[in-house]
Amino acid sequence: MRGRESTGMRRRHNEEYIMDTVKSSTFYKLKTLLLTILSSLALSGMYYIEPANAGTYLNSAHGNSTYGVKRSASGFPTDYTKGLCGHCHEQHSSVDGSEPEPIDGSPSTYELFYSNYVNQTDNICFQCHKDISSYQTGGSLVNRSYSFRAGGWTADSLNDLLEAFSVASPGSSHYLDNVTTLITAKSWNYTSDSNPCDACHNPHAAQGDPVGAPNSAKSSGTRGWPVSRPSLHSEDNSVWGLWGDSSGEKMSDYAGVLTYQAPYRYNSTTTYEPDGSTTQNGSNLTDYVTFCTDCHNTTNTIYSTTLGRNLRAVDWTAAKHGKGAAVLDSASDIFPPYQDAQLGNYVMSCTDCHEPHGSTNVFFIRGEVNGSVPVTVLTEAGTNDGPGSRCNSEWTYLCGKCHKRLVSSDGHAHPSFIPPDTEGCSDASCHSGDDGCIYTSCGTCHYHESDTVFGTPYGEKLF
């Protein structure tokens, strides 16, 4: 018994020792935790620790610490890190007691180092966004065309924004004075001091697309989001966000129950715009329809200085290339990736045909469309020769990228009778030959919002 008692007591003693040890360990942990919490509270009260987190600017192209803005100019500090505010904004209109280059003699609005906007080819943005004599370190800043970046047409020689906005007739570019006129007329918080580039881009948010690789085409791993909707413009960077970067802002969202079909990448039948992946439904493409129709809609009257007339209105909800009714008829014979059976379901994006900044074609028509070149449209009326040297047929450079049977060897799929005419192919209006050419340009009847043939209502949209 004694022995068992002794053994039992030892066991109890050991258990108590173990329990004491456990209690002691638990108490020690509690003590440490308590001290830590109390000390942290005390310290946080005395020295408030401010949060640090990367936001919109640090994720932007300008604010990127690797390839962001970095001015190189006489009199300008060389040790400002990339992305620093001071590369664009001179807080005192001087640095170290004097004004660095470019010296324009007086302080500029928004503390910018150069006038915010002067004209089509002269503004703060173009001081850096050009390939020669750029103030960006290295002296050259490359920005490629949409056909290059999304289309994958890397032979496009256009390589900077100043060049894109300097394209002379017969080429075209977004005319910035007209942009200014529109955005300042709207209640979008723009003023006469605003830079028209800011109509589409938030300089404190816009990302490269592709990110940090301006001389490359987009890939699914290098995507960025460059635009912000003008109608949502605000000086508050936390309000005016990017457009296209979030769900609900993609072409697939715009299409809804309809279908967005991505065009082919250049010289490919297996990869698609905009990033060369196999994604075809626009879930990787910004909803450019919503973006562009902030301005180009049926409400805004936009005078074009370069065209000398108002721009045509755009109602993409009614257009055949938009959400409007389109039917399978004798003219419906289209190239892949589009399918005849899906006609009526397709919704196109503005960027399927148009460059955003400028191109050597009229109306910023892309130089590459649906995977191939050339696209050469130099007259609005389309009176130049088209493929195969056919007169009045230059629009078929564009239309023929998707629509088959537009070349003579294919015959003609066009409806034979176009009301109110009844003479079919031999109708004098269609094949008059008055100018020595037997063809009528596509653009005679087919343009944004057109629904008439030679002035006579056709009964449905013709574009």
Query: Which residues touch 69 (CB under 8 Å, ≥6 apart)?
Result: 62, 63, 82, 83, 84, 87, 88, 128, 136
Q: Which of 14, 25, 26, 191 contacts another protein by CB under 8 A?
A: 191
Specify the residue, 76 or 288, whose C-beta has the smaller distance to another protein: 76
DSSP 259: B
Does 5 participate in binding another protein (rule CB under 8 A)? no
* 456-457 and 117-119 strand pairing: unpaired
Specify the residue, 63 or 322, whose C-beta has the smaller distance to another protein: 63
DSSP 351: G
Does 105 participate in binding another protein (rule CB under 8 A)? no
Element (H, E) at 22: helix 2-46
Specify the residue, 69 or 462, whose C-beta has the smaller distance to another protein: 69
* 358-359 and 172-173 strand pairing: antiparallel
Subset of 233-252 contacting another protein (CB under 8 A): 234-239
Write each residue from 106 to 125 as x if it is in contact with another protein (CB under 8 A), else as -, in one continuous string: xxxxxx----x---------
Q: Which of 15, 96, 410, 423 contacts another protein by CB under 8 A?
A: 96
Does 274 participate in binding another protein (rule CB under 8 A)? no
Count interface residues toward another protein (CB under 8 A): 55
Specify the residue, 78 or 169, whose C-beta has the smaller distance to another protein: 78
Closest distance to another protein from the beta carbon of 211 (Å): 16
Closest distance to another protein from the beta carbon of 94 (Å): 6
* Distances from the Cα of 115 to the Cα of 11, 219, 277, 289, angstroms: 88, 35, 41, 32
Does 139 participate in binding another protein (rule CB under 8 A)? no
Closest distance to another protein from the beta carbon of 79 (Å): 5
Specify the residue, 77 or 457, whose C-beta has the smaller distance to another protein: 77
Specify the residue, 58 or 391, whose C-beta has the smaller distance to another protein: 58
Q: How many CA atoms lie within 13 A of 150 on its CB side?
A: 31
> For residues 102 and 133, is the Cβ–Cβ distance under 8 A?
no
Q: Of 248, 386, 275, 400, which is closest to residue 338 (Cα–Cα)?
A: 400
Identify residue 150 by its one-letter amino acid code.
Answer: A
Specify the residue, 159 or 195, whose C-beta has the smaller distance to another protein: 195
Torsion of CA 392, 148, 164, 306, to 10 degrees: 30
Taking contact as CB under 8 A, which single stretch among the options 29-37, 123-131, 262-270, 323-331 is the one that binds another protein? 29-37
Subset of 35-94 contacting another protein (CB under 8 A): 35, 38-39, 42, 45-48, 50-58, 63, 65, 68, 77, 79-86, 91-94
Specify the residue, 86 or 337, whose C-beta has the smaller distance to another protein: 86
Q: How many helices (H) and strands (E) does the chain have?
A: 7, 8
* Main-chain phi, psi angles of 250, to 5 degrees: -110, 160
Does 422 participate in binding another protein (rule CB under 8 A)? no
**Structure tokens belonging to residue 400:** 């023929």
> For residues 309 and 325, is the Cβ–Cβ distance under 8 A?
no
Does 168 participate in binding another protein (rule CB under 8 A)? no
Identify residue 91 by its one-letter amino acid code.
Answer: Q
Quote the CA–CA distance of 316 and 285 in Å, as a whole number: 17
Q: Which residues bind another protein (CB under 8 A)?
A: 27, 30-31, 34-35, 38-39, 42, 45-48, 50-58, 63, 65, 68, 77, 79-86, 91-94, 96-97, 106-111, 116, 191, 193, 204, 234-239
